[in-house]
């Protein structure tokens, strides 16, 4: 997966995780809130992975 795809999937997971947390909070479901938080963290990691790929590409392109 390319860096752009990682970033898009990451942002999608971040937003979905936040929505899932809010829904869990609205219906007082701790398990759903926890799953949402985990999904949000997964998304942040995917975005970071995309950023890292971009940084590596920039270094390689300069060489």
- The DSSP result for 1-57, as a single string, is --HHHHHHHHHHHHHHHHHHHHHHHHTT-HHHHHHHHHHHHHHHHHHHHHHHHHHHH
What pLDDT shows up at residue 63? 80
pLDDT at 34: 98
pLDDT on residue 1: 83
Structure tokens at 61: 């392109």
Q: Which residues of the chain have pLDDT under 70?
A: none
The C-alpha atoms of residue 25 and residue 20 are separated, in whole angstroms, by 9
């Amino acid at each position: 997966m390319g860096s752009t795809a990682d970033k898009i999937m990451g942002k999608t997971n971040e937003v979905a995780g936040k929505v899932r947390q809010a829904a869990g909070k609205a219906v007082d479901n701790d398990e759903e809130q926890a799953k949402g938080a985990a999904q949000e963290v997964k998304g942040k990691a995917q975005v970071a992975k995309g950023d890292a790929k971009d940084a590596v590409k920039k270094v390689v392109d300069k060489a």
